[in-house]
Amino acid sequence: MKKSIRNFILWLKGDSVNKEYQKIKQIKNENDLLNFHEQYLKKLILHTYYNVSYYQDIFNKIGIVENEKVNLEKFHEIPILTKELLMKHQKELLSKDYMNRRWYRNYSGGSTGEPTMFIQDKNYKKWYTASEKYYYQDIVDIDESNVKKIYLWGSPQDLFKGSIGLKNKISNWFKNTLILNSFKMDQNNLLSYIKTINTYKPDLIRGYADSLYELAKFSEIKNLNIYKPKKIVSSAETLTTEKREKIETAFGTKVYDSYGSRETASIAGECKYGLIHIFSFNNFLEIIDRNNNPVIEGQEGRIIVTNLHNYSMPFIRYELGDLGVLGPKKCICGNFLPCIKRISGRFEEQFIKKDGSIVIGYFFVHLIGVLLNKGYIKKFQIIQEDFDRIRIITVLDKGLPEFEKNEIEKKIRVQMGSDCKIIWDFVDTIQNTLSGKYLYTQSLVK
């Protein structure tokens, strides 16, 4: 009954993704995929040329559009769009017709760079939803939209307001979904989460890699059995070999690693043979070296993404801040999608509390990132110097009001303890890591 009601509501709202999913299913081989890229890249570039002021001079300079025709041989001459350029040119990156689309604001989580605001729309959402449907049904082999599932996910609203809201609760009930807050990972909550999993008996568990890892370690230490779901999908953080082995041992289930971002949504997902398939029907992905040349198979490089479907604020050749190792064009699983061998560059670190529980770095990045979105600061880094001492290093922009500092400190103490000492350092610059990214969170507690 839930499935029928949910499908009816999607149809009524015009949010069904059946059409997009069927277009994906029509892609059978590499040639089909190349034709798909050619069609959708040309449409995106033409729209961008006539509607997005940021790109008009760029496109004219390289001559990618002439007489209303697109020359894709010049695509790789388009300059890389960085996070800094996105923040600096937000208004110029908006399409002049975005108000005619079903648009909404979104914010980057900031796990690999400064959080910032951008615009997305209905068409973008339908394509990434269809991509996720394809991943779960055609690669992971589970009907994600209908099975019982638990998400171990970050929920700042739940943490600070005590409720995810009646509307979301009803929506989750219809989707057979329970959400466990990965921002609350103390021993009491971990015990409660295991009881919930064992009672609810989900077919699918999806969560942050570190949160799944902490849950697995806790079950091992306390000698607690956890219900075995059919599938586990890890996301948002690097899934190391150690984390994977611990999670799979605790749950008795293979872990599938998925890769995405707030800016461009579903990017890639692991198959049962361990390669990460690129969802090339949602994003056009490149892996390039420091000289902006394509890497060869087995070589590590910077991940560059062009989303094919967000016409409200096109992201063309956008640098996510991640590093990846290019895989083969085709996997032994038989799927036509090209592959990444591994994602190797997400720079954030978890913090440790006195009781041994952890707070994932994403919590702090999300929290401090609000100040950046408001224009108070330009850059930041958060360091845990001791169990109860946090140092926040910031590069100021227009200055930081005292009430904003107080609000941040209050929320940190909710997580780290009421005695936590918080030190603010205001500096002129913050150094990059060797990979060219900032280390946004660092714990000195071992």
pLDDT, tens only, 227-244: 999 999 998 777 878 789
331 and 191 in a common domain: yes
356 and 325 in a common domain: no
251 and 229 in a common domain: yes
pLDDT of residue 70: 95
Domain end call among 317, 346, 375: 346
134 and 57 in a common domain: yes
**Interval 272-307: pLDDT, tens:** 999 999 999 999 999 998 789 999 999 988 899 999
pLDDT of residue 440: 74
376 and 282 in a common domain: no
Per-residue confidence band for 183, with pLDDT thresholds at 50, 70 and 90: confident
273 and 203 in a common domain: yes
pLDDT of residue 157: 47
392 and 317 in a common domain: no
Task: Provide mean pLDDT across the span 372-383.
Answer: 84
For residue 399, the domain's CATH number is 3.30.300
Domain end call among 346, 370, 402: 346
294 and 370 in a common domain: no
16 or 384, higher pLDDT = 384
pLDDT of residue 99: 94
Number of domains making up the chain:
2
218 and 254 in a common domain: yes
359 and 317 in a common domain: no
How far apart (Å, rounded) are the C-alpha atoms in residues 40 and 104?
22
Share of the chain above pLDDT 90, in %: 58
392 and 316 in a common domain: no
Range of the domain at 228: 1-346
Task: Provide mean pLDDT across the span 378-394.
Answer: 91
416 and 321 in a common domain: no
Mean pLDDT of the residues in the chain: 86
Domain end call among 297, 313, 346: 346
For residue 299, the domain's CATH number is 3.40.50.12780
